[in-house]
Amino acid sequence: MAANGWHRVAAESDVEDGHPLAAEIGRDTVLLARVGGRIYACAGKCTHYGAPLADGALRGRIITCPWHNARFDVTNGQMVSPPALDSLRCYEVRVESGDVYVRPTERVESRPSIGEGATYAIVGAGAAGNAAAETLRRDGFAGRVLLITGEPDRPYDRPNLSKDFLAGTAEPDWIPLRPEGFYSEHHIELLTGRRVVSVDCAARLLRIEDGETIPFDKLLVATGGKPRELKVPGAELDGVRLLRTKADAEAIVADLDGAASAVIVGGGFIGMEAAAALAERGVQTHVVARDSVPLSRVFGERIGRWLQSVHEQEGTVFHLGRQVDAIEGSGRLERVILSDGTSLPADVAIVGIGITPAVDWLSGTGLVVDGAVPVNERLETGVAGIFAAGDIASVPDPRLGERIRVEHWVVSERHGQHAARAMLGAEEAYTDVPFFWTQQHGKSLSYAGFARTVDRIAYRGSVEGGDFLAGYYEGDRLRAIASLWRDAEFIAASEILRAGGNVSFEDFSTDTVNLCEMSS
Ligand SMILES: Cc1cc2nc3c(=O)[nH]c(=O)nc-3n(C[C@H](O)[C@H](O)[C@H](O)COP(=O)(O)OP(=O)(O)OC[C@H]3O[C@@H](n4cnc5c(N)ncnc54)[C@H](O)[C@@H]3O)c2cc1C
Ligand code: FES
């Protein structure tokens, strides 16, 4: 019963410290959390893909989403870190006679107004660029925000391209990150189809392909990666596709119309996800990869073998330890020839053999070192006022004591958010633990941390049973973790990594050692 908008949602005693609770009001889910003795309420579904937040982990006032680890402050609903882009709706809470009542509140955001008259340009409207533009506005930047992309589309959900989009199961409105009109509403000048060809760091001037020049006061470089091309005879034939952009994915989907068989070149994440998507479409799919076990370089051989078996059960055929020697066909590809002479009939070939940072337009600036853009802990380059984020950036990792470059969606968004705050003057260092997820045949694996070399892997649960947590060790040091269906332990172990802590190999391998208690 609602009186003056108040709904009774729980007994006060049911809301325990550290244990978030879900309650229903009609069709809405409310999250109840006790912090410092006081009960707070906010929307119970993550603003990213709608995960039930009560299944996440609450540490202090921060709840971490169980699916892709977005973080929110439960005391005010604020989004603390992506992949969610929006904050949670908040509820007013009243406790009376041992019962908890809530009613929705209107959020009143008071923003400082900073930087009037200045122009902050962002080159690249992907994960990092979009997050940066939104953060500038959310944190009160009052000057011009230019979000520039060479692509014709407004920012979109790139990870989805190799998953539901390719499988044909994505709703059209899942792909753009924001609805039409969002950018103009937030006074973000989104310049699409405008490839930047150079930057003059001293004059603070960008040059666009058509000759136009754009002045800026501060700049964020966030042009991501460009896919490596296959260098074999026939790679230029119709139907041989790279997969980086929405246009690439649309071209593949068009090619798949009536296709009976496909070859995926590369057994990395994009290749494996694409293989799963094509198998779901009923296309006979072959994966060709140089490695003897797919994804073993990241997950280790045991998990890689198990994943391979999941794909094989769905009909995908693997050609491992081999490479493509040639692609044949007249005008359009007809078959793919492997290094052992095997000839695979193919209507479509998708090449997923890695990326290189998109740095061509920065040549001569001194910003590029070893093919990437090194930054300091605030994500600022060697040139004051010029920042870099996402796949292109090589960022100091406080745990390893060296710069690392990772190619993950969530990391890029968090870089973008952090760089925007640094552009506004924040001094904090970027210290987040890298995180990514991959989804293949309904299995969503999460990975956190960074391991350059792995000496041994500890396991909990059963890899072959599809329910596990893995810990990757360099010597005695836990460097990274991977999990399937073990969200609470995964988040706990991520928190330990974030805090610079460690778990001994023996403790990690023992299911009865409670990681959640160790991390709190
Ligand atoms: C198909 C696919 C699936 C993926 N799945 C996952 C996943 O499941 N999980 C995960 O963690 N990561 C995933 N990734 C990786 C993730 O998408 C990237 O790490 C992330 O997008 C990098 O963000 P970014 O902002 O650095 O670059 P991008 O998102 O690539 O954005 C770069 C932007 O710069 C623009 N640009 C480039 N050059 C210029 C120029 N000269 N002038 C103007 N604009 C320019 C581009 O058009 C684009 O708008 C996937 C990648 C792909 C391609
Ligand atoms: S559903 Fe919460 S982070 Fe993706």
Q: What tens digit of pLDDT does each residue of 405-463 get?
A: 999 999 999 999 999 999 999 999 999 999 999 999 999 999 999 999 999 999 999 99
C-alpha span between 490 and 68 (Å, rounded): 11
Proximal ligand: closest to the CA of 55: 2
The pLDDT of residue 350 is: 98
Closest atom of ligand 2 relative to the 46 alpha carbon: 2
Q: Is 222 in contact with 416 (CB distance < 8 Å)?
A: yes
User: Which residue, judged by its Cα, is nearest atom 16 of ligand 1?
Assistant: 409
Integer-rounded Cα Rg, in Å, for the chain is: 24
Proximal ligand: closest to the CA of 439: 1
Asked whether 67 lines ligand 2 (CB < 6 A), one says: yes
> How far away, in angstroms, is 50 Cα from ligand 2 center?
6
Of 374, 391, 420, which is closest to residue 158 (Cα–Cα)?
A: 391
Closest atom of ligand 1 relative to the 162 alpha carbon: 1
C-alpha span between 434 and 394 (Å, rounded): 13
> How far away, in angstroms, is 52 Cα from ligand 2 center?
9
> How far away, in angstroms, is 242 Cα from ligand 1 center?
13
Q: How confident is the model at residue 107 (pLDDT cuts 50, 70, 90)?
A: low
Q: What is the pTM of this model?
A: 0.96
Q: Reply yes or no on whether the pLDDT at 66 is more than 80.
A: yes
Residue 312 CB contacts under 8 Å (≥ 6 apart), including other chains:
318
Strands (E) in 26-181, as ranges, are 28-35, 38-43, 57-59, 62-64, 71-73, 79-81, 90-96, 99-104, 119-123, 144-148
Q: What is the DSSP letter of 131?
A: H
Cα of first residue to Cα of last residue in the chain, in angstroms, is: 37
Summarize the confidence of residues 385-396 as an average pLDDT: 98
Return phi, psi of residue 25, to 5°.
-125, 105
Proximal ligand: closest to the CA of 414: 1
Asked whether 358 lines ligand 1 (CB < 6 A), one says: yes
The pLDDT of residue 374 is: 98
The pLDDT of residue 2 is: 63
Range with the poorest average pLDDT among 101-115, 150-164, 183-197, 424-438: 101-115
Asked whether 130 lines ligand 1 (CB < 6 A), one says: no
The pLDDT of residue 108 is: 65
Asked whether 115 lines ligand 1 (CB < 6 A), one says: no
Proximal ligand: closest to the CA of 149: 1
Asked whether 124 lines ligand 1 (CB < 6 A), one says: yes
> How far away, in angstroms, is 53 Cα from ligand 1 center?
27
Mean pLDDT of the chain: 95
Summarize the confidence of residues 66-76 as an average pLDDT: 96
Asked whether 30 lines ligand 1 (CB < 6 A), one says: no
Summarize the confidence of residues 32-36 as an average pLDDT: 95
Asked whether 83 lines ligand 1 (CB < 6 A), one says: no
Q: Reply yes or no on whether the pLDDT at 1 is more than 60.
A: no
Summarize the confidence of residues 102-125 as an average pLDDT: 87
> How far away, in angstroms, is 13 Cα from ligand 2 center?
29
User: Which residue, judged by its Cα, is nearest atom 3 of ligand 2?
Assistant: 68
Proximal ligand: closest to the CA of 491: 2
Q: Reply yes or no on whether the pLDDT at 9 is more than 80.
A: yes
Q: How confident is the model at residue 301 (pLDDT cuts 50, 70, 90)?
A: very high
The pLDDT of residue 105 is: 87
Distance of alpha carbon 34 from the chain centroid = 29
Q: How confident is the model at residue 490 (pLDDT cuts 50, 70, 90)?
A: very high
Long-range contacts of 58-63 (CB under 8 A, 24+ apart): 58/18, 58/19, 58/20, 58/33, 59/18, 59/495, 59/519, 59/520, 60/35, 61/33, 61/35, 63/20, 63/31, 63/33
Asked whether 84 lines ligand 2 (CB < 6 A), one says: yes
The pLDDT of residue 163 is: 95
Residues in the chain: 520
Of 29, 42, 46, which is best to mutate to test ligand 2, by the most ligand atoms within 8 angstroms of its C-beta?
A: 46
Distance of alpha carbon 167 from the chain centroid = 19
Closest atom of ligand 1 relative to the 194 alpha carbon: 43
Asked whether 158 lines ligand 1 (CB < 6 A), one says: yes
User: Which residue, judged by its Cα, is nearest atom 2 of ligand 1?
Assistant: 159
Q: Reply yes or no on whether the pLDDT at 171 is more than 90.
A: no
Q: Is 199 in contact with 220 (CB distance < 8 Å)?
A: no
Residue 328 CB contacts under 8 Å (≥ 6 apart), including other chains:
234, 334, 335, 336, 337
User: Which residue, judged by its Cα, is nearest atom 1 of ligand 2?
Assistant: 49
Strand partners, 446: 437, 483
Of 147, 189, 412, which is best to mutate to test ligand 1, by the most ligand atoms within 8 angstroms of its C-beta?
A: 412
Closest atom of ligand 2 relative to the 84 alpha carbon: 3
Q: Reply yes or no on whether the pLDDT at 172 is more than 70.
A: yes
Q: How confident is the model at residue 363 (pLDDT cuts 50, 70, 90)?
A: very high
Neighbours of 171 (CB within 10 A): 8
Of 149, 151, 164, 362, which is best to mutate to test ligand 1, by the most ligand atoms within 8 angstroms of its C-beta?
A: 149
Q: How confident is the model at residue 18 (pLDDT cuts 50, 70, 90)?
A: confident
Closest atom of ligand 1 relative to the 355 alpha carbon: 53
The pLDDT of residue 431 is: 96
User: Which residue, judged by its Cα, is nearest atom 4 of ligand 1?
Assistant: 159
